[in-house]
A and B are shown apart, each in its own frame.
Chain A
Amino acid sequence: MADVKPPCGQQNASVDTDLTTLLLILGGLVSAISLIKTAITNWTALSNWLLANGVGMGIPLAAIGGALIAFTVVFVIAYNRCRPREGVQACSAGVINEIVPAYDNGVDQFFAFTGMHNRIDVVVKSFYWPLVQNNVFVRCAADADGSPMIAGYYWTKEVCAAGQGAIVGGAVGIIPGVLAGVALAALIGCATIILCILALIVAAIVAAAIVIAAAVIGGQVGRALSEETVPEADDVALRVGDYVTTSGNLMNIEFIDGARGYWWVTDSALHGHSSEAAPYRYIDPDTNLTGDMCPGSGPVIT
Chain B
Amino acid sequence: MAALVKLAALLFGRLSFCALMGAIIGALAGFLFAALMEEHPGHVFTNAELLQIAVPLAIACWLVVLLIVGVWLHYGAAAIAWPLLLNAFVTVLLTVWANNLIQMPAIAGIIGLLIGILVGSILCRFCGRLPQGTTHG
Contacts and interface: CB of A to CB of B under 8 A. Distances in A.
A61 interface: yes
B112 A30 contact: yes
B59 to A, nearest CB: 9
A69 B72 contact: no
Nearest to B12: A20
A105 B73 CA distance: 13
Interface residues of B, number: 57
B130 interface: yes
A255 B1 CA distance: 19
Contact of A196 (B11, B36, B113, B132): B36
Interface string A1-24: 000000000100101111111111
Given A13-B130, A20-B11, A23-B20, A61 B72 contact: no
Contacts of B69: 19
Interface in A35-84: 37, 56-59, 61-62, 65, 69, 73, 77, 79-80, 83
A212 to B, nearest CB: 9
A290 interface: no
Contacts of B23: 23, 27
Contacts of B68: 22, 73
Contacts of B109: 27, 29-31, 33
Contacts of A31: 106-107, 109-110
Contact of A256 (B45, B107, B136): B136
B11 A79 contact: no
B58 to A, nearest CB: 11
B12 A23 contact: yes
A193 B34 contact: no
B35 A200 contact: yes
A56 B38 contact: yes
B111 to A, nearest CB: 10
Contacts of A83: 1-2, 5
Contacts of B136: 100, 116, 119, 255-256
A233 interface: no
A255 B38 contact: no
Contact of B113 (A27, A61, A69): A27
Contacts of B56: 194, 197-198, 201
Contact of A21 (B4, B35, B39, B105): B4
B5 A17 contact: yes
A263 interface: no
Interface in B9-45: 9, 11-13, 15-17, 20, 23-24, 27-28, 30-32, 34-40, 45
A243 interface: no
Contact of A57 (B2, B17, B39): B39
A259 B31 contact: no
Nearest to A13: B130
Given A25-B4, A105-B135, A107-B71, A190 B39 contact: yes
A114 interface: yes
Q: Which of B13, B36, B64, B105 has the most CB of A within 10 A?
A: B36
12 contacts: A20-B5, A20-B8, A23-B8, A30-B109, A79-B1, A193-B49, A197-B52, A200-B32, A200-B35, A201-B57, A256-B134, A257-B132
Interface of A: 10, 13, 15-27, 29-31, 33-34, 37, 56-59, 61-62, 65, 69, 73, 77, 79-80, 83, 100, 105, 107, 111, 114, 116, 119, 139, 190, 193-194, 196-198, 200-201, 203-205, 208, 255-257, 259
Given A22-B68, A33-B105, 18 more contacts: A10-B132, A13-B130, A23-B23, A23-B113, A26-B28, A33-B108, A56-B39, A65-B32, A77-B72, A114-B72, A114-B74, A116-B136, A194-B56, A196-B39, A197-B53, A203-B35, A205-B60, A259-B137
